[in-house]
C-alpha cells in the first residue's frame, strides 16, 4: 500500500540529490551560478531593495551619531527599546546556521550538506546586524572598546558579574568561530572557483582567498581535522550564546525577566527563528536559481519539522511563564502576566501567540510542509512572531515594574523603525552579495553525497577540480 511507501520515504531511499546528477553537473551548476549563469532578475530586485534600506540605515545611524540615543523612543522606565529587541532577534536568527553546520555535522545528518554554507553565511550576517545594536545603544558608540578588559590609565574595568559583559565575550567568540567555520569550509570550493574562472582578475580573486589550496591528500586530511575541531568548538556556542543573552534578562529581578526557564527557552526560540529565516531565504533563492536538484522537497520537509519541534519547546516556555507567574504567589509576578495579556501592549502579546504557537501548528500537515508558498508565508509569520516575543519580553516587563508611580509607556519613533528596517536591508544586501560572489552550496560536500562514479568518468573528482 502507499502507507508503506510513505514510511520508507521517511528514511534514506529518497535521494538527497535528484537523480541524474554527477560530480560534474553538481560543480557546473553551483559554480555556474556565480561564474557563467546570467544573473536572475530577482537578484537585481532583491539587491536593490536591500541597498535602499542600507541607505536608510546609514541615515538613521548618522543622525544617531549627531544627536544621540534621544532620537529613539527609549526613556525611563523603558531604557531598552528596539535596540535590544533587534539585538536578541538577530542573534537568535544566527543560531540555525551554527546548529546546521556544527551539530548536524556531528550527528551525521547528511542532508545538511546542501544548506550548511547558506545557513552559515546567514549566521555571519545576522551576527553582524546583531552586534551593531548594543554598540549603537551605548550612547557613545565610539567608546565601545571600554567594554573589553584592558589596562587603561583611568583604571576602568568592566563589571564581571554583569551578564552584559558576558555578552561581549559570548557574541565576539560566536562571531569569530562562525567566521572561521564558514571560511574554512569555503576553501576547497574557492579553489574550484579559481580553477573554473575564465577572467584573469576573477581567477586571481578566488586564487588569493583560496589560500593556495591544491587538493592534495595532505590538504584534505588537515582540512577534515580542522573542520571537525571547529564543529566541536561551535557546538557549545549553539547553546551558550543565547543562554548568556537570556541571562541579560533573567539575572535581574523584574517580573517577566527573572525566570529560570529562560536559558533553554531562549535557545529553542533562537533555533526556531533561525530555521524560519533559513526557510525565508532558501525558498526564493532556490526558485530563482533553480536549485531544486540539490535542495529537495525532503530538505524543506526536514527544516519545517525542526521548526515545528523547536516552536513547541517555545510554546512550553510560554506555558511555564504563565503558570509560574501565577504559582509564584507574588502579586508583582501575577500582575506581569495580567498586564501582558490585558494591558496596553496586549495586542502585541496575542499577535505573538498567534504567530508563534497557533499558526505554526499547520506544519503538522505534510502537505503544508511541502507547499513552498505556504511554508514561505509560515516562515515569515514565525519571524514576525519571534520579533514580537522579544518586544513583549523587553518592553512589557520594563514599562510596569513594582511601583505604579514609576510606570510609563514606550513608543518607537521613526528612527527606531528606520534603524530596524535598515538592519534588515543590510542583511538582505549582504546575503545576496554572498549568493552572487561565492558558491552558495558546498560543492565538495554535496559531491560526497553522490554514489561513487561507475566509470562513465564525466570529469571532476573531488579536490581542487
Site membership for another protein, residue 1 (CB under 8 A): yes
CB of 448 to another protein, least distance (A): 5
Site membership for another protein, residue 320 (CB under 8 A): yes
Site membership for another protein, residue 198 (CB under 8 A): no
The three grid cell numbers given for residue 71, joined into one nine-digit string: 532620537
Site membership for another protein, residue 18 (CB under 8 A): no
Site membership for another protein, residue 22 (CB under 8 A): no
CA distance 48 to 43: 8
| Given 40, 79, 252, 462, the residue binding another protein (CB under 8 A) | 252
Site membership for another protein, residue 167 (CB under 8 A): no
| Given 7, 66, 198, 217, the residue binding another protein (CB under 8 A) | 7
CA distance 197 to 207: 10
Site membership for another protein, residue 365 (CB under 8 A): no
Site membership for another protein, residue 261 (CB under 8 A): yes
Which range, of 54-62, 215-223, 347-355, 445-453, touches another protein by CB under 8 A?
445-453
Name 15's Cβ contacts closer than 8 Å, sequence gap at least 6: 296
CB of 167 to another protein, least distance (A): 14
Which range, of 8-16, 204-212, 346-354, 433-441, touches another protein by CB under 8 A?
8-16
Site membership for another protein, residue 324 (CB under 8 A): yes
CA distance 74 to 86: 14
Which range, of 4-12, 49-57, 66-74, 87-95, touches another protein by CB under 8 A?
4-12
List the one residue out of 164, 142, 149 whose CA is nearest residue 65.
142
CB of 361 to another protein, least distance (A): 11
CA geometry: angle 295, 301, 304, nearest 5 deg: 110
**Number of residues counted as binding another protein (CB under 8 A):** 45
Per-residue b or e along 269-287, where b marks 16 or more CB atoms closer than 10 Å to that residue's CB: bbbbbbbbbbbbbbbebbe
| Given 134, 263, 274, 360, the residue binding another protein (CB under 8 A) | 263
Site membership for another protein, residue 449 (CB under 8 A): yes
Are the C-beta atoms of residues 301 and 282 closer than 8 Å to each other? no
List the one residue out of 11, 21, 13 whose CA is nearest residue 447.
21
The three grid cell numbers given for residue 155, joined into one nine-digit string: 583604571
List the one residue out of 174, 163, 168 whose CA is nearest residue 135.
168
User: Residues 96-125 vs another protein: string with x where CB under 8 A?
Assistant: ------------x-x---------------
Site membership for another protein, residue 150 (CB under 8 A): no
List the one residue out of 424, 95, 421 whose CA is nearest residue 278.
95
Which range, of 187-195, 324-332, 351-359, 387-395, touches another protein by CB under 8 A?
324-332
Site membership for another protein, residue 20 (CB under 8 A): no
| Given 169, 205, 223, 316, the residue binding another protein (CB under 8 A) | 316
| Given 133, 262, 275, 415, the residue binding another protein (CB under 8 A) | 262
Site membership for another protein, residue 23 (CB under 8 A): no
Site membership for another protein, residue 373 (CB under 8 A): no
CA distance 120 to 226: 17
Residues that bind another protein (CB under 8 A): 1, 3-4, 6-8, 10-13, 15-16, 108, 110, 161, 239, 243, 247, 250-253, 258-264, 312, 316, 319-321, 323-324, 326-330, 364, 448-450
Amino acid at each position: 500500500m502507499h502507507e508503506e511507501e510513505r514510511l520508507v520515504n521517511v528514511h534514506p531511499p529518497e535521494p538527497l540529490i535528484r537523480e541524474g546528477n554527477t560530480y560534474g553537473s553538481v560543480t557546473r551548476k553551483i559554480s555556474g551560478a556565480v561564474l557563467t549563469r546570467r544573473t536572475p532578475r530577482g537578484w537585481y530586485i532583491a539587491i536593490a531593495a536591500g541597498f535602499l534600506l542600507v541607505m536608510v540605515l546609514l541615515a538613521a545611524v548618522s543622525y544617531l551619531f549627531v544627536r544621540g540615543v534621544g532620537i529613539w523612543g527609549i526613556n525611563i522606565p523603558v531604557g531598552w527599546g528596539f535596540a535590544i529587541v533587534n539585538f536578541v532577534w538577530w542573534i537568535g536568527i544566527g543560531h540555525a546556521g551554527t546548529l546546521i553546520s556544527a551539530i548536524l555535522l556531528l550527528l551525521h545528518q547528511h542532508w545538511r550538506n546542501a544548506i550548511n554554507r547558506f545557513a552559515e553565511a546567514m549566521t555571519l550576517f545576522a551576527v553582524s546586524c546583531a552586534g551593531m545594536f548594543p554598540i549603537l545603544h551605548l550612547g557613545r558608540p565610539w567608546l565601545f572598546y571600554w567594554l573589553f578588559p584592558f589596562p587603561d590609565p583611568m583604571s576602568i574595568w568592566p563589571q564581571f558579574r554583569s551578564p552584559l559583559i558576558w555578552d561581549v565575550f559570548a557574541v565576539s567568540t560566536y562571531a569569530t568561530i562562525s567566521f572561521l567555520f564558514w571560511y574554512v569550509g569555503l576553501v576547497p570550493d574557492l579553489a574550484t572557483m579559481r580553477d573554473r574562472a575564465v577572467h584573469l582578475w576573477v581567477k586571481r580573486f578566488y586564487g588569493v582567498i583560496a589560500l593556495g589550496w591544491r587538493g592534495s591528500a595532505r590538504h584534505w586530511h588537515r582540512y577534515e581535522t580542522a573542520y571537525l575541531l571547529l564543529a566541536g568548538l561551535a557546538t557549545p556556542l549553539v547553546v551558550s550564546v543565547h543562554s548568556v543573552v537570556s541571562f541579560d534578562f533573567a539575572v535581574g529581578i523584574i517580573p517577566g525577566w527573572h525566570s529560570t526557564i529562560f536559558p533553554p527557552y531562549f535557545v529553542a526560540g533562537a533555533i526556531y527563528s533561525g530555521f524560519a529565516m533559513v526557510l525565508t531565504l532558501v525558498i526564493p533563492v532556490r526558485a530563482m536559481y533553480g536549485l531544486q536538484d540539490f535542495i529537495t522537497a525532503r530538505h524543506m520537509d526536514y527544516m519545517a519539522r525542526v521548526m515545528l519541534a523547536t516552536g513547541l519547546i517555545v510554546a512550553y516556555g510560554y506555558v511555564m511563564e504563565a503558570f509560574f507567574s501565577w504559582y509564584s504567589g507574588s502579586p508583582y509576578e501575577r500582575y506581569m502576566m495580567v498586564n501582558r495579556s490585558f494591558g496596553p501592549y496586549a495586542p502585541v502579546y496575542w499577535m505573538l501567540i498567534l504567530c508563534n504557537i497557533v499558526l505554526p501548528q499547520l506544519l503538522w500537515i505534510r502537505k503544508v510542509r511541502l507547499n513552498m508558498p505556504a511554508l514561505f508565508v509560515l516562515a515569515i509569520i514565525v519571524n514576525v512572531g519571534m520579533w514580537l516575543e522579544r518586544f513583549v519580553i523587553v518592553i512589557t516587563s520594563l514599562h510596569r515594574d513594582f511601583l505604579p508611580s514609576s510606570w510609563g509607556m514606550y513608543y518607537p519613533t521613526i528612527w527606531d523603525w528606520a534603524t530596524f528596517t535598515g538592519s534588515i536591508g543590510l542583511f538582505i544586501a549582504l546575503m545576496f552579495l554572498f549568493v552572487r560572489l561565492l558558491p552558495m552550496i558546498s560543492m565538495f560536500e554535496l559531491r560526497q553525497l553522490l554514489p561513487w562514479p561507475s566509470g562513465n568518468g564525466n570529469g571532476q573528482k573531488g579536490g581542487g577540480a
